[in-house]
Amino acid sequence: MNYQETIDFLYAQLPLFSRIGAAAIKADLTNTLALCEALNNPQNKFKTVHIAGTNGKGSSSHMLAAILQQSCYKTGLYTSPHLYDFRERIKVNGELCTKEFVVEFTEKIKPYIETIRPSFFEVTVAMAFEYFAQQQVDIAIIETGLGGRLDSTNVILPEVCLITNIGKDHMDILGNTLEKIAFEKAGIIKENVPVVVSEILPETKDVFEEAAKEKHAPLIFAQDIFSVKNYHYELNGLQIEIADSATKQVKNYELDLTGIYQTKNIIGVLATIRQLQNKGWKIDEQSISYALKNVKNLTGLHGRWELVSKDPTIITDVGHNEDGIKQIVQQLKHIQYNRLHLIIGFVKDKDVSSALALLPKDGIYYFTKAQIPRAMNEKDLEILAAEKKLHGQTFENIDAALLSAKSNYRENDLILVCGSVFLVAEIKK
């Protein structure tokens, strides 16, 4: 098989969450452990940082990877889902894994696919571990897919764990309360391994304290170490003043990830870096500052409050749940525009009504869908939105919606695409 045939094989043969939802998820780590065993346990051949959370784990993963590779460490990065190219999931120093590797790996594990019957995600996790081992990375940033306790990535023994944020998402799988969701995320905490929590909530603090105590894991709440004193947002940059509670020093950072929600993520990232420094990793302030200013160039991150066009002004953001939409609405308050054009689409298994209730009533809406089976039909979305006093037109795909938004665009308007990772992924570069 060539590369495209290999990707088609993986999509066709393996249970895929983006296609069928919860049915693709295995309720234990058996398959991942069996795949890793067949590959001689590549996950044990390099150091790792493990990241879980409802929102912010993708941005945090990329920031950490950027800092480590700027510090001259050969750095692996595993994230999901991808936007444009499957290989975005597996990178070393910002470079996609090779097509040849994807083909060779898939051929190699075909017998195990037949006997183990793994999911798509389980195969991609094993693929990432094997690639990082072959590439002899110094360290790899490993982002969980969903949850933590039973996530396929949860077979590593990391240097440090990071839990970014707990919000109401995937409640059909992880539980219908913040406490239950936090319990699943806390499942990545390992014996004697430091764990950093980016954001404290009253409902979740006790959950993390209990899990850390049980595992004898040092627990670090990021806001006890760093605090955001001030920030300034512009379309092409975010300036943040961070105070260090120990030294009382205030440092200024410029981020090319311009979402204001990065003010929450950055303190978790800096606290995680502090833990790595305590373990002997050589990371200096100059590398941190440069990396945070150049995350997109260093790691290839897309879709986080990303300005993709200036004329017309088009921004994309992969915020797709209640917390993610809250952050988007907060961001809009910092932007001056005449009219807001919102192109939105969701998947069916999200709490779409709660997200819609947060969106501005005076926006011009373009209801559409990603081209995946899990996508909510645009007509159904229009009906739900009307209940929340949101009105607009429906479109069968993102291209048609974007074409209409552009034709309605006037000077100083803003076009925003959000609501689903898969929708943002379909915007052509």
- C-alpha to C-alpha distance for 245 and 237, rounded to whole angstroms: 25
Are residue 323 and residue 284 in the same domain, yes or no? no
Domain that holds residue 319: 306-425
Are residue 316 and residue 374 in the same domain, yes or no? yes
- C-alpha to C-alpha distance for 205 and 173, rounded to whole angstroms: 21
Please report, for the domain that includes residue 315, its CATH number: 3.90.190.20
Are residue 270 and residue 333 in the same domain, yes or no? no
At 170 the pLDDT is 45
At 17 the pLDDT is 47
**Domain end position, chosen among 299, 323, 339:** 299
Q: How confident is the model at residue 175 (pLDDT cuts 50, 70, 90)?
A: low
**Domain end position, chosen among 299, 317, 338:** 299
Are residue 286 and residue 310 in the same domain, yes or no? no
Are residue 320 and residue 295 in the same domain, yes or no? no
Please report, for the domain that includes residue 139, its CATH number: 3.40.1190.10
Are residue 7 and residue 79 in the same domain, yes or no? yes
Question: Which of 63-77, 120-134, 145-159, 376-390 is the least confident region?
Answer: 145-159
Mean pLDDT rounded to a whole number for the chain: 91
Are residue 123 and residue 208 in the same domain, yes or no? yes
pLDDT in tens, 204-235: 899 999 999 999 999 999 999 999 999 998 87
Please say whether the beta carbons of 222 and 195 come within 8 A. no
Are residue 72 and residue 38 in the same domain, yes or no? yes
Asked if the model's pLDDT at residue 169 lies above 70, the reply is no
Q: What is the pTM of this model?
A: 0.89
**Domain end position, chosen among 254, 282, 299:** 299
Are residue 270 and residue 327 in the same domain, yes or no? no
At 87 the pLDDT is 96
- C-alpha to C-alpha distance for 105 and 411, rounded to whole angstroms: 50
Q: What percent of the chain has pLDDT over 90?
A: 71
Q: How confident is the model at residue 412 (pLDDT cuts 50, 70, 90)?
A: very high
Q: What's the Cα-to-Cα distance from 201 to each of 26, 182, 185, 270, 402, rounded to whole Å?
A: 29, 10, 14, 19, 38
- The verdict on whether omega for the bond into residue 111 sits within 30 degrees of 0, i.e. cis, is no
Asked if the model's pLDDT at residue 107 lies above 90, the reply is yes
Asked if the model's pLDDT at residue 344 lies above 80, the reply is yes
Give the residue among 261, 258, 193, 251 at the shortest CA–CA distance from 225. 251
Asked if the model's pLDDT at residue 152 lies above 80, the reply is yes
pLDDT in tens, 280-338: 999 999 999 999 999 999 999 988 889 999 999 999 998 877 888 988 998 999 889 99
Number of structural domains in the chain: 2
Are residue 229 and residue 172 in the same domain, yes or no? yes
